[in-house]
Structure 1
Amino acid sequence: MDRNNRTGATGFLLLGLSGQPEQEEVLFGLFFWMYLVILSGNTLIVLAISCDRRLHTPMYFFLANLSCVDIFFATVTIPKMLANRMSGSKSISYVGCMTQVYFFVAFGNMDGFLLSVMAYDRYVAVCRPLHYAMRMRPSLCVLLVAVSWAITHLHALLHTLLIARLAFCSNNAVHHFFCDPEALLKLACSDTSLNDLVAFTVSGLVFMAPFSCIVVSYACIFSTVLRSPSVRGIRKALSTCGSHLTVVALFYGAVLGVYMRPSSSYSVQDTVATVVLTVLTPLVNPFIYSLRNQDVKGAIRRLSFRGLVPSRF
């Protein structure tokens, strides 16, 4: 069976979020502006951290990586949606669809791994402050990020190859604004049991490993904070963790809302949680970290004095 027969055409049709022309126009404008904010906000975070030596620490190194991943994560899905709307087309090629699947899985998982690495960094800072410089060496920070990239890309490759082996026959209409893996599994006319098995084993492990690291890290942090006799120390510890906890809750809440259940129960309504994951999380991350972090706000002000960003920042 050749590739064209497997997909019923030369690719897939992305039906979007609503299916109503009037609503799609509104969504186009909304997604366009959100994408601009994602690009500008996360780029600003990366510039502030890169240009300010006071932010050349492990915590901000991980934050800069998270901002880069958020830019890539949003770029996987939103530009194609905007381009299709502008051209009046709903199509995406087979190769383009598989490419979206690969990078969606890779960058989505990378977000989780970076959040877990940041949780470990906060654990060392709060619970082992005297050993922080020794434990969070620059070489270890780079190694943690490199290993995370390797794991997430191998997992993305496995996921993409398993979906590429499926037959899609004549039904090629994806009820989404991008090639979401779960939505594609609903279209398959061949057996998806292997995909479901991998989703609940390998994908479950890739999900649970960073999530467990976050839970254990914060359990230790709160245990240490509650034993602290200093109210000022408690406030300082919680202030360094508040932004990260907010992002963790948003990210994992969206993931749990869609992807940690069988594909057979996937419905069109679950696109709301996917939009939160792919668009809202990269959108709000810069604001959460900049508005609650005096160091980042100070670095942005210093950038404005250099003329790299508008002075209103």
Structure 2
Amino acid sequence: MRHGWSLDRRALLRGGAAAAGALGLGAWPRRASAIGNIAVGDGELTVVSDGHLSLSMNFSFPDVDKAELEEILAAHGLPADANDPDCNVTFLRRGDRLAVFDVGSGPNFMPSAGKLLENLGEAGIDPSEVTDVIFTHAHPDHIWGLVDDFDELVFPDAAYHMGAAEWDFWRAPGTLDAMPEERKTFVVGAQNRMAYIEDRIELFDPGAEILPGVEAVATPGHTPGHTSFMIHGGTEPVFVTGDAITHAAISFARPDWPSGSDQDKERGAATRVALMDRLASERARIVGFHLPHPGIGRVERDGAAYRFAAG
């Protein structure tokens, strides 16, 4: 009985948000929610928007050559003072499984994000259908959407999967004290959400097959246990990047640059450089969590650097 009531409450949340949008009550422009289903062998990917973040460029790239930064941004028609990356949540429907990679921000991170639940209806997805939740990492915009406004699991019937290194890092007793002051809320928020799923989490190591055809790929640096996923099937694999790639211009033109959002900036840059080479060589399609919605495209070589080819 309690389970059915939770679903009804989630439906009310979605309906209320949709009504607010129709009445023009939102404080930000509404972005498309579900675009471009991709076939992956006998499966299909659907990308659903969780909204977008609002960051400063000084936060995103604090320790780089400012003149070169502005030159790259200008070449792509992007502002030099703001970074508003989209948040793209990927669903994989294959056989009798419906998996989601990350769960978005939920209602308590940024007002411009946390839109996943209200956008699921447009994508034709019912939260009760989701059989598996697979995390790339435990930053707020990827895990805080685990529960809704009523502290109920958004995907109540799912199994949950996270890399063992990532889970152990955020759960470790000393992580909060060791974290810089401005990121302590990240730890508190992650530990709070993890408590909801500690009795059902399934941990894995790099190289594991999480679900049939879903391979875990270690991409550390952004967080200690950050994991991306190669989805195999048919003739063309698809790589779900998580935050190993975060900017459609800078991450490609200068993957060697440190990113302000990476916990280990040196390791994050090394991971990005290696990843760009691999993805350009293998010609795999990618879905980038923070690339322009829906985040689908390829990595192409551009002289000594790379570029993002959307589509």
How high is the TM-score relative to the length of structure 1?
0.26
Q: Which structure is higher in helix share?
A: 1
Q: Which structure is higher in strand share?
A: 2
**Higher RCO, 1 or 2 (CA under 8 Å, sep at least 6)?**
1
